[in-house]
Structure 1
């Protein structure tokens, strides 16, 4: 109790907020509680029978990667991988089998919450399951979980094409049900912020699943309808503001006192001039854009549209007749996707590669088509820093390298450096708050063949280890001078992204059929016996969300001169 009182005392003296009714910000209260709890509890995963979704293949990857780090003398990375890599499956996934087509066969449905918010974001859910996609090639349970997520995203988009986040059911309470959105949202939508990258995330999951498995069973009439709708929205959102002055295709108004939570000009957003780019009124942080054309999201659209075109072309070649519910042929959709990708890519280099007074030609974060450009970057993906991670260009590209130098400098208004670390943040949480996600992306996009020996990557890893503040997990953000001050202790996307970095550092492709796999790469079929031993019913547990919250204990702080990873 004395430690808790001391933590609150420090919060009062260092984080006084005169605008708060209590004089104390909620963030400082949260930090005080988190600091106290971190020192008392040990980081761990939920018990086996409380995990939302279990996979022996995932456990196999964990053991193999842990062994690699332990042999390198990096036990702290082994421990963090054990917690972060399975966090999405352990705590956020609900997978069920559902009857479809009048009960003639079984289908899959997968709902993935973000963590501490009981809703599914299209962007987050795709990225949360990304580390498990390599397993889908050989592991049927993982494959069905992913098919369920594609199916769920498909139904969501066919219901509310402009929404970014969704409820599990229409009967669920929604925090933003009073927002004024056009087109009007259904009761299934959690939030109606149109973000271009949300549509791209749907395409990314379908594209990557196909690349790994070559399975096209997801590409039914509903999926094709969703793809057609996505392409339609992208085309419509290329319009200039004056082209739809009387009847905008989309508008959003939220009543409140947070300017970046709503759109200007009666919900239309900032003025845009047609230039070939696609508008995105909101960023991947869910903040309103300053200028309407978000460049990283357009770059992501180029990549995913090109892949979609290839997927649709394969479907055209393999399918004698399209589904009876299709309104357009695979060939027509493929041509539209390819044409749109080419148009957007050309527009990026024409309108978004802009002269900076200090760094020369760099990619702007946002432009408006009138010649105005915003020089900044945000830690959320897609970002300018993540362009190689997205697949838009190589990390050695000269335009990217100049842009990267700008991003990781004090010329970027959202790059912060303090005694606890340095990295990119954003306006969503505020000034001085660094996002681990941005540091992971910095490491993943370093122009080096050997990540483990690169000094920049090593420095990023040490900051990331410290940023956990002993909880064993990544957070949304931490304050640049104190890792004990952090936001969102349960943020599954950040854990999955960190796991991607650790997989690369361990030299793993994330599959169970690599040379030297433990137990000769046992399959998920063995998991039922393990569950029976502990009284679990199936490979999927639907325990309550409250059972999945974990807070941890301090781990030794890594020094700046730690050995190579």
Structure 2
């Protein structure tokens, strides 16, 4: 993130509610639940919503009825549909259904965010034809984007347009039309697979998995292989003139050296910050899961056993490499590193952005009760992690992207997602409820002692993820919501 974007988001954080209302970011209608005064719905009026789903509205009503706390119910109703209300454009492109989804306050589509933003609605798609059209369009768009440039993390609405992101105008990389930003992150190719697999499993619909999608998936496999860097650094490099060191990569944009042990090199983390050691462990473990999901789809839908076998072989190779090089041997047992280089150098930390070490079970990269994960989780949520912050308002994980003291609500959500301890989950809900600074929405980050100091008033992924958490708890731990 460059200085101008930081200024934009700082303005969003400090702007009075009236300004946001006049700009169409928020809108007020009376909140239907009885109880706490002043809780006005922050959803846009019905006629100004980007997309509506009868199935989503039904689930909102059903879930609200299970929440004992009026403020938490209000937050859920604001947050769960926020992606559909404010960020979705559905249409056609090149004769196919097309869905373009912005992150919120930035008019571009991140491969990661767009997939994660609609993930909670996958379970409802079978019963809602409008949602099916949305998902088909997004699967088509993802395939188109991968075909344009598998190394890019963000794209423009117009596939032939030049990037309009001011901070990306002078990047030293192989910029292509249609690309908004070109930071190579492993998860940018994993998330579209996760979404496609989830949609297929939920609906049985295979209409979006056409020849273009098939070609895009083969490109994913090719790109992962290239970034194992067994035969040199590969085609990707990236440099940016910036006062923020994490915005660029060293050594002519190819990053710190790694030994080719089988893992995938990533130049940037899910936070869009540069890696220190290019073998990012959460990203590689996510890739293992994604490759196995892709193999299943290629066999069942495209009858492409050869490429499916290649996916499984690569997943197995990465898994062996991660086990051999990505584990820290501590006094209390083994736990995962965050980044390594294959030469024996290891970095332990965690970053709130998903994939993270904390979120591994959420992404089905391991089981929640896995002993190594539990040891890793304890280290992440402690002073052993330099980006774990504990203040008077809350405790949680942040990252270099917004700096010290800044807790990301996303990390608190992931702690709740990966817990079966109702007391721990209740504490997470309390922190989330008391740190939204009266807005009714989740933010990118907030100060550990002062939630009124936050970044990003309109961050759709965090909003929808919060809604997903509440739906998850209504299904798995309804007693927590009744007592909340």
TM-score, reference length from structure 1 = 0.78
Kept in 2, the 8 Å contact 1:109–1:149? The answer is yes
Q: Secondary structure at the match of 1:267?
A: coil
Out of 342, 353, 357, which is 2:327 matched to?
353
Structure 2: distance between partners of 1:171 and 1:278: 30
- State the partner residue of 1:193: 183
Residues 1:244 and 2:222 are matched in the alignment: no
Checking the alignment, whether the CA contact within 8 Å between 2:43 and 2:78 is kept in structure 1 is yes
Per the alignment, residue 80 of structure 2 pairs with: 85
> Secondary structure in 2 aligned to 1:95?
strand
**Are residues 1:177 and 2:169 paired?**
yes
* SS class of match (2:99): strand
CA gap of 1:498–1:269, structure 2 versus 1, over 3 A, is same
Matches within 5 A, 1:19-34: 31-34=13-16
Structure 2 gaps, min length 5: 29-39
Cα deviation, residue 97, structure 1: 3.2
Provide the secondary structure at the position in 2 that maps to 1:277: coil
Distance in 2, matches of 1:131 and 1:382, equals 16
Cα distance in 1 for partners of 2:16, 2:387 equals 25
Deviations 1:233-258 (A, max 9, x none): 10111115xx426xx42100111211
SS at match of 2:121: helix
CA RMSD of aligned residues (A): 2.3
1:361 Cα deviation from its structure 2 partner: 1.1
Cα 1:224–1:481 change in 2 (3 A) is same
Match of 1:336 in 2: 310
State whether residues 88 and 129 of structure 1, in contact with CA within 8 Å, keep that contact through their aligned partners in structure 2. Answer: yes
Shift of 1:25: 8.3
1:129 aligned to 118, 125, 128, which one?
118
Measured in 2, the distance between the counterparts of 1:188 and 1:429 equals 28
**What is the alpha-carbon distance in structure 2 between the residues aligned to residue 271 and residue 384 of structure 1?**
23
Give the alignment partner of residue 211 of structure 1, picking from 201, 207, 211.
Answer: 201
Distance between the aligned counterparts of 2:10 and 2:243, measured in 1?
20
Q: Is the 8 A contact 2:112 2:188 kept in 1?
A: yes
Summarize deviations over 1:115-169 as a string: whole Å, max 9, x none: 0000000000000000110111121110110110010111011011110000101
The one of 435, 440, 456 aligned to 2:413: 440
Which residue number corresponds to residue 539 of structure 1? none
Quick check: 1:259 aligned with 2:245? yes
Q: Which has the higher contact order (CA 8 A, sep 6+)?
A: 1
Aligned to 1:420: 393
Shift of 1:36: 9.0
SS at match of 1:129: helix
**CA deviation profile, 1:200-227 (whole Å, cap 9, x unmatched):** 0121111111111111111111111110
CA drift of 1:360 comes to 3.1
Structure 1: runs of 5+ lacking an equivalent? 1-19, 101-106, 318-329, 510-560
Q: Which has the larger radius of gyration?
A: 1
DSSP 3-state at the match of 2:453: strand
Match of 2:365 in 1: 392
Match of 1:564 in 2: 483
Q: Give the aligned partner of residue 44 of structure 2.
A: 46
Could you tell me which residue of structure 1 aligns to residue 34 of structure 2? none
Question: Mapping of 1:241-390 within 5 angstroms?
Answer: 243-244=231-232, 248-317=234-303, 330-356=304-330, 359-390=332-363
Segments of 4+ in structure 1 off by > 2 A? 24-43, 97-100, 170-175, 561-565
Does residue 141 of the first structure (1) align with residue 130 of the second (2)? yes
Cα distance between partner residues in 2 of 1:31 and 1:219: 40
Aligned to 1:514: none
| Deviation readout 1:17-53 (Å, 9 max, x if unpaired) | xxx9xxx988776654458979997542111111100
* Count, aligned residues: 459
Residue 508 of structure 1: CA displacement? 7.7
Specify the alignment match of 1:534 in structure 2: none
Distance in 2 between residues matched to 1:443 and 1:86, nearest whole Å: 20
